[in-house]
Chain A
Amino acid sequence: EAGVAQSPRYKIIEKRQSVAFWCNPISGHATLYWYQQILGQGPKLLIQFQNNGVVDDSQLPKDRFSAERLKGVDSTLKIQPAKLEDSAVYLCASSSLRSPINYGYTFGSGTRLTVV
Protein backbone atom coordinates (compact mmCIF):
# COMPACT_ATOMS: atom_id res chain seq x y z
CA GLU A 1 0.00 0.00 0.00
CA ALA A 2 1.11 3.56 -0.59
CA GLY A 3 2.61 5.31 2.43
CA VAL A 4 1.87 8.66 3.99
CA ALA A 5 2.71 11.40 1.48
CA GLN A 6 4.02 14.78 2.56
CA SER A 7 5.15 17.86 0.70
CA PRO A 8 7.28 19.82 0.39
CA ARG A 9 10.29 17.88 1.63
CA TYR A 10 12.27 20.99 2.52
CA LYS A 11 11.34 24.62 3.05
CA ILE A 12 13.41 27.65 3.97
CA ILE A 13 11.59 30.88 4.87
CA GLU A 14 12.34 34.11 6.63
CA LYS A 15 10.85 34.81 10.04
CA ARG A 16 7.40 36.38 9.94
CA GLN A 17 6.63 34.71 6.62
CA SER A 18 3.93 32.07 6.28
CA VAL A 19 4.28 28.44 5.21
CA ALA A 20 1.98 25.49 4.58
CA PHE A 21 2.58 21.77 4.65
CA TRP A 22 0.45 19.10 3.02
CA CYS A 23 -0.20 15.51 4.04
CA ASN A 24 -2.09 12.66 2.42
CA PRO A 25 -2.52 9.69 4.77
CA ILE A 26 -2.80 6.02 3.92
CA SER A 27 -6.13 5.35 2.24
CA GLY A 28 -8.78 4.42 4.76
CA HIS A 29 -6.88 5.68 7.80
CA ALA A 30 -9.33 7.67 9.87
CA THR A 31 -6.84 9.17 12.30
CA LEU A 32 -4.24 11.72 11.23
CA TYR A 33 -1.56 13.38 13.34
CA TRP A 34 0.83 16.27 12.92
CA TYR A 35 4.00 16.07 14.99
CA GLN A 36 6.80 18.58 15.39
CA GLN A 37 10.30 17.14 15.84
CA ILE A 38 13.03 19.53 16.88
CA LEU A 39 16.57 18.30 16.21
CA GLY A 40 17.67 15.82 18.88
CA GLN A 41 14.23 15.45 20.45
CA GLY A 42 11.31 13.08 20.21
CA PRO A 43 8.26 13.98 18.11
CA LYS A 44 5.75 16.26 19.86
CA LEU A 45 2.07 16.01 18.97
CA LEU A 46 0.61 19.23 17.57
CA ILE A 47 -2.84 18.06 16.51
CA GLN A 48 -4.81 14.85 16.08
CA PHE A 49 -7.78 14.44 13.72
CA GLN A 50 -10.36 11.67 13.72
CA ASN A 51 -11.87 11.82 10.23
CA ASN A 52 -12.31 15.59 9.81
CA GLY A 53 -12.83 16.41 13.49
CA VAL A 54 -10.15 17.57 15.93
CA VAL A 55 -9.50 15.13 18.80
CA ASP A 56 -6.57 16.92 20.45
CA ASP A 57 -4.94 20.25 19.69
CA SER A 58 -3.83 21.12 23.21
CA GLN A 59 -0.19 21.64 22.17
CA LEU A 60 -0.88 23.56 18.97
CA PRO A 61 0.24 27.23 19.27
CA LYS A 62 -3.06 28.51 17.98
CA ASP A 63 -1.93 32.12 17.68
CA ARG A 64 0.29 31.11 14.73
CA PHE A 65 -0.46 27.50 13.79
CA SER A 66 -3.60 26.21 12.12
CA ALA A 67 -4.55 22.88 10.61
CA GLU A 68 -7.47 21.47 8.73
CA ARG A 69 -8.54 18.15 7.35
CA LEU A 70 -11.29 18.71 4.84
CA LYS A 71 -13.39 15.72 3.81
CA GLY A 72 -11.51 13.55 6.28
CA VAL A 73 -8.69 12.73 3.90
CA ASP A 74 -5.68 14.97 3.29
CA SER A 75 -4.62 17.71 5.66
CA THR A 76 -2.72 20.98 5.69
CA LEU A 77 -0.75 22.57 8.50
CA LYS A 78 -0.03 26.29 8.32
CA ILE A 79 2.28 28.57 10.25
CA GLN A 80 1.69 32.31 10.09
CA PRO A 81 3.85 34.16 11.03
CA ALA A 82 6.84 31.85 11.46
CA LYS A 83 9.37 32.28 14.25
CA LEU A 84 12.96 31.07 14.44
CA GLU A 85 11.96 28.45 17.04
CA ASP A 86 9.59 26.84 14.52
CA SER A 87 12.60 25.36 12.72
CA ALA A 88 11.97 21.62 12.91
CA VAL A 89 10.81 18.59 10.98
CA TYR A 90 7.03 18.41 10.68
CA LEU A 91 5.86 14.82 10.55
CA CYS A 92 2.47 13.61 9.49
CA ALA A 93 1.28 10.18 10.60
CA SER A 94 -1.87 8.14 10.23
CA SER A 95 -3.47 5.20 11.97
CA SER A 96 -6.37 3.07 10.90
CA LEU A 97 -8.82 2.34 13.65
CA ARG A 98 -11.05 4.08 16.14
CA SER A 99 -8.64 3.13 18.92
CA PRO A 100 -5.39 4.17 17.27
CA ILE A 101 -3.49 3.85 20.52
CA ASN A 102 -3.76 0.09 19.99
CA TYR A 103 -2.05 0.16 16.62
CA GLY A 104 1.15 1.46 15.18
CA TYR A 105 1.39 4.79 13.43
CA THR A 106 2.72 5.16 9.88
CA PHE A 107 4.77 8.30 9.46
CA GLY A 108 5.48 10.29 6.33
CA SER A 109 9.00 11.42 5.41
CA GLY A 110 8.38 14.84 6.93
CA THR A 111 8.98 18.43 5.92
CA ARG A 112 12.18 20.01 7.18
CA LEU A 113 11.46 23.69 7.90
CA THR A 114 14.25 26.18 8.40
CA VAL A 115 13.30 29.67 9.53
CA VAL A 116 16.05 32.28 9.05
Chain B
Amino acid sequence: QQPVQSPQAVILREGEDAVINCSSSKALYSVHWYRQKHGEAPVFLMILLKGGEQKGHEKISASFNEKKQQSSLYLTASQLSYSGTYFCGTGGGAQKLVFGQGTRLTINP
Protein backbone atom coordinates (compact mmCIF):
# COMPACT_ATOMS: atom_id res chain seq x y z
CA GLN B 1 0.00 0.00 0.00
CA GLN B 2 1.56 3.26 -1.15
CA PRO B 3 1.89 5.99 1.52
CA VAL B 4 0.16 9.29 0.82
CA GLN B 5 2.19 12.49 0.90
CA SER B 6 0.86 15.98 1.38
CA PRO B 7 1.05 18.56 0.04
CA GLN B 8 1.84 17.52 -3.54
CA ALA B 9 3.76 20.73 -4.16
CA VAL B 10 5.07 23.67 -2.13
CA ILE B 11 6.55 26.97 -3.23
CA LEU B 12 8.51 28.96 -0.66
CA ARG B 13 10.79 31.93 -0.42
CA GLU B 14 14.27 31.33 0.90
CA GLY B 15 14.24 31.36 4.70
CA GLU B 16 10.67 30.10 5.10
CA ASP B 17 9.72 26.84 6.79
CA ALA B 18 7.97 23.82 5.30
CA VAL B 19 6.30 20.65 6.56
CA ILE B 20 5.76 17.56 4.42
CA ASN B 21 3.49 14.81 5.69
CA CYS B 22 3.48 11.09 4.96
CA SER B 23 0.57 8.85 5.97
CA SER B 24 0.10 5.12 5.72
CA SER B 25 -2.96 2.90 6.05
CA LYS B 26 -0.76 0.10 7.35
CA ALA B 27 1.18 -0.22 10.59
CA LEU B 28 4.62 1.28 10.18
CA TYR B 29 7.92 -0.23 11.21
CA SER B 30 10.14 2.41 9.65
CA VAL B 31 9.97 5.56 7.56
CA HIS B 32 12.67 6.71 5.16
CA TRP B 33 12.99 10.21 3.71
CA TYR B 34 14.78 10.96 0.42
CA ARG B 35 15.32 14.05 -1.71
CA GLN B 36 15.59 13.86 -5.49
CA LYS B 37 16.76 16.74 -7.64
CA HIS B 38 15.69 16.88 -11.26
CA GLY B 39 17.48 14.28 -13.35
CA GLU B 40 19.38 12.87 -10.38
CA ALA B 41 19.11 9.86 -8.12
CA PRO B 42 17.20 10.02 -4.82
CA VAL B 43 19.49 10.84 -1.91
CA PHE B 44 18.90 9.40 1.54
CA LEU B 45 18.13 12.00 4.21
CA MET B 46 17.15 10.04 7.30
CA ILE B 47 15.31 7.05 8.67
CA LEU B 48 12.96 6.81 11.63
CA LEU B 49 12.29 3.48 13.27
CA LYS B 50 9.37 2.33 15.35
CA GLY B 51 9.51 4.20 18.65
CA GLY B 52 8.25 7.68 17.79
CA GLU B 53 11.66 9.30 17.78
CA GLN B 54 12.46 12.57 16.15
CA LYS B 55 15.64 12.98 14.16
CA GLY B 56 17.48 15.95 12.84
CA HIS B 57 19.88 16.65 10.02
CA GLU B 58 21.12 20.26 9.97
CA LYS B 59 17.91 22.25 9.50
CA ILE B 60 15.94 19.24 8.35
CA SER B 61 14.24 17.07 10.95
CA ALA B 62 11.46 14.49 11.04
CA SER B 63 9.03 12.91 13.45
CA PHE B 64 7.34 9.52 13.44
CA ASN B 65 3.95 8.88 15.08
CA GLU B 66 3.26 5.14 15.17
CA LYS B 67 -0.29 5.48 16.49
CA LYS B 68 -1.29 7.84 13.69
CA GLN B 69 0.81 5.85 11.19
CA GLN B 70 2.38 8.99 9.87
CA SER B 71 5.63 10.89 9.64
CA SER B 72 6.38 14.56 9.04
CA LEU B 73 9.48 16.16 7.57
CA TYR B 74 10.33 19.67 8.78
CA LEU B 75 12.53 22.03 6.77
CA THR B 76 13.54 25.10 8.75
CA ALA B 77 14.82 28.35 7.25
CA SER B 78 14.85 26.76 3.81
CA GLN B 79 17.80 27.28 1.48
CA LEU B 80 17.85 27.26 -2.32
CA SER B 81 19.62 23.89 -2.16
CA TYR B 82 16.56 22.33 -0.51
CA SER B 83 14.63 22.46 -3.77
CA GLY B 84 13.68 19.08 -5.17
CA THR B 85 11.14 16.34 -4.78
CA TYR B 86 10.87 14.70 -1.38
CA PHE B 87 9.80 11.08 -1.05
CA CYS B 88 8.88 9.13 2.02
CA GLY B 89 9.28 5.39 1.99
CA THR B 90 7.43 3.19 4.42
CA GLY B 91 8.02 -0.42 5.35
CA GLY B 92 6.62 -3.10 7.54
CA GLY B 93 8.47 -5.66 9.61
CA ALA B 94 8.82 -7.87 6.55
CA GLN B 95 10.93 -5.20 4.85
CA LYS B 96 10.07 -3.94 1.34
CA LEU B 97 10.12 -0.17 1.16
CA VAL B 98 7.19 1.47 -0.64
CA PHE B 99 7.59 5.08 -1.74
CA GLY B 100 4.98 7.82 -1.76
CA GLN B 101 4.18 9.85 -4.85
CA GLY B 102 6.48 12.68 -3.81
CA THR B 103 6.22 16.34 -2.76
CA ARG B 104 7.80 18.89 -5.07
CA LEU B 105 9.47 21.71 -3.13
CA THR B 106 10.49 24.91 -4.91
CA ILE B 107 12.54 27.51 -3.07
CA ASN B 108 12.70 30.95 -4.64
CA PRO B 109 15.23 33.67 -3.73
Contact = CB atoms under 8 A, between A and B. Distances in A.
B81 interface: no
Interface residues of A, number: 23
Contacts of A113: none
Interface in B28-67: 29-30, 32, 34, 40-44, 46-47, 49
B81 to A, nearest CB: 18
A6 to B, nearest CB: 9
Contacts of B30: 101-102
Given A43-B87, A107-B43, A109-B41, A48 B96 contact: yes
Contacts of B42: 43, 91, 105, 107
Contact of A102 (B40, B44, B49, B98): B49
Interface stretch (B11-19, B70-78, B99-107): B99-107
B95 A106 contact: no
A42 B5 CA distance: 11
25 contacts: A4-B41, A41-B102, A42-B2, A42-B99, A42-B101, A43-B42, A43-B87, A43-B99, A45-B96, A48-B96, A56-B95, A91-B41, A99-B95, A101-B29, A101-B30, A102-B47, A102-B49, A104-B32, A105-B34, A105-B42, A105-B44, A107-B41, A107-B42, A108-B41, A110-B41
Interface of B: 2, 29-30, 32, 34, 40-44, 46-47, 49, 87, 91, 95-102
